[in-house]
Amino acid sequence: MTAPYGFAVTPETVDPTVRIPSPRPARPAADGGRLWSGGLATAVVAALAGLVGALVVRVVAGFVPAAHALVTGTFGTAGIVLLCTLAATAALAATGIAHLLLLSTPRPLEYLGWIVGLGTAVAVVLPFVTTASLGAALALAAVHLVIGLAVATLTGSAAAASMRIAARAREV
């Protein structure tokens, strides 16, 4: 109903004490397919980052005669395979955590950043509490840091992109 001079008659104009609750904004949903495809790509990148890091350490250690134990022990073939497998697994775990956070928490990307950042910190410190030599611990910590940074940035980006894609799909 329209009142004179173009004013609309609403419950608020008739009785200003009446408040109509505004609808709650829709919770941003995640496009799971995009999130998990980004997670798989992140797993590949993390494994390759571990491989490149280990190969760089092997090349650098090849120039230092005292570093032979470093190359044959921590960064031997079995160690590199384990490192790459764990890097890919960490990326998939981060994607799973991101998906759970997107479904259940406010500000999921902030929580994801903290969780992945603290997990990376644990991975960086872990070599120093083992019986590995200081050189091997430093090299492994550096490789863990690079892997953690890759997982954090790429998983966060995939989660943010999956939220934007899902929001655009709802608008259409």
What's the whole-number mean pLDDT along residues 124-144?
A: 91
pLDDT, tens digit, 9 for 90 and up, residues 79-99: 899 999 999 999 999 999 999
Q: Which two tokens stand for residue 126?
A: 């872990």
Helices 32-62 and 77-104: crossing angle in degrees, nearest 10, is: 150
Straight-line distance from the first to the last Cα atom of the chain, in angstroms, rounded to the nearest whole number? 30
What's the whole-number mean pLDDT along residues 17-24?
A: 59
152 burial type by CB count under 10 A (0-12 exposed, 13-18 middle, 19+ buried): buried
pLDDT, tens digit, 9 for 90 and up, residues 152-161: 999 999 999 9
Size of the chain in residues: 172
- pLDDT category, 55, cuts 50, 70, 90? very high
What's the whole-number mean pLDDT along residues 106-120?
A: 96
- In sequence order, the 6+-apart residues with CB closer than 8 A to the CB of 36 are 95, 99
- The tokens 């490789």 sit on which residue? 143
Q: Which two tokens stand for residue 40?
A: 């798989």
